[in-house]
């Protein structure tokens, strides 16, 4: 019986099953979708948390990502890796959420939120760098997460954030400088 359980667990977490789960989820199979959620929700939550710098908002947006994934999964044609496609969907949803929560004055004049250093909730389970990333100003943080962690190019980041490529590079440089200073303290 125990042996059978081990075999089932291995089968469940085998990466070869992912295309099957995707195909089944595209046909409306919620069980298969749950397998995809189990595989990816921690990575998507990490993306949301790093970009939003707020635990509660990150949890809400992570849920939103998977709800929208369920609705849009039929759009996935297998032209890229599923994880790449999912991360791009998640990134767009997070950015949309950040834009939606800005006041019209902030939107028009591109005013940044203040760094969240003073209000940040300590998360001891997170790495030191993750804690420091949370203290970065919003635009520097978004560019840093997208470039250094998610692997987007500055051209893509500039397009997503509605800024010039040079601005994206400058924000990345600013983020690195701030993080270096913060880590050497």
Partner 1 sequence: MKETMNADKNAEMSLQAAIAQLPKEIVPERDLWSGIDKAINQSATLADNNDKKKAFTPVAWAASIVAAVLLTWVTLGPEQLTSKPQINLVAAMQQDFEQQKQTMLVNFGAPDIKQLPVAMQTELVKLSSAQNTISKALADDPNNSDLLNLLRWTQQQELDLLNQLYSPQWQTI
Least Å distance between CB 120 and partner 1?
15
Compare residues 84 and 159 and give the one whose CB is closer to partner 1.
84
Compare residues 70 and 76 and give the one whose CB is closer to partner 1.
70
Tokens of 58: 């990150």
DSSP, collapsed to helix, strand or coil, labels residue 120 as: coil
Tokens of 146: 């997208």
**Alpha-carbon distance values, 8 to 4, 5, 11, 25, 174 (Å):** 6, 5, 5, 20, 49
Compare residues 12 and 183 and give the one whose CB is closer to partner 1.
183
Least Å distance between CB 111 and partner 1?
28
Compare residues 138 and 150 and give the one whose CB is closer to partner 1.
150
Least Å distance between CB 119 and partner 1?
18
Q: What is the DSSP string of 142-155?
A: HHHIIIIIS---HH
Q: How far apart are CA 93 and CA 182, in angstroms?
A: 29
Is the Cβ–Cβ distance between 142 and 131 less than 8 Å? no
Least Å distance between CB 152 and partner 1?
14
Interface with partner 1 (CB under 8 A): 28, 30, 33-34, 37, 41-43, 45-46, 49, 55, 58-59, 62-63, 66-67, 70-71, 125-130, 148-149, 176, 179-181, 183-184
Least Å distance between CB 42 and partner 1?
4
Q: How far apart are CA 94 and CA 161, in angstroms?
A: 11
Compare residues 88 and 106 and give the one whose CB is closer to partner 1.
88
| Residue entry with tokens 């890796």 | 81
């Amino acid at each position: 019986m125990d042996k059978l359980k081990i075999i089932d667990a291995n089968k469940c977490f085998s990466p070869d099953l992912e295309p099957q789960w995707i195909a089944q989820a595209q046909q409306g199979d919620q069980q298969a979708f749950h397998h995809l959620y189990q595989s990816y929700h921690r990575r998507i939550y990490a993306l949301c948390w790093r970009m939003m710098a707020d635990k509660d908002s990150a949890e809400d947006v992570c849920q939103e990502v998977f709800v929208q994934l369920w609705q849009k999964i039929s759009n996935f044609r297998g032209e890229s890796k599923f994880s790449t496609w999912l991360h791009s969907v998640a990134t767009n949803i997070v950015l949309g959420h950040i834009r939606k929560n800005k006041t019209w004055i902030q939107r028009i004049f591109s005013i940044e939120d203040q760094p969240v250093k003073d209000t940040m909730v300590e998360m001891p389970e997170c790495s030191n760098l993750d804690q420091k990333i949370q203290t970065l100003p919003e635009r520097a943080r978004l560019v840093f997460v997208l470039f250094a962690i998610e692997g987007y190019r500055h051209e893509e980041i500039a397009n997503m954030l509605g800024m010039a490529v040079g601005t994206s590079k400058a924000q990345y440089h600013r983020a690195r400088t701030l993080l270096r200073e913060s880590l050497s303290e």
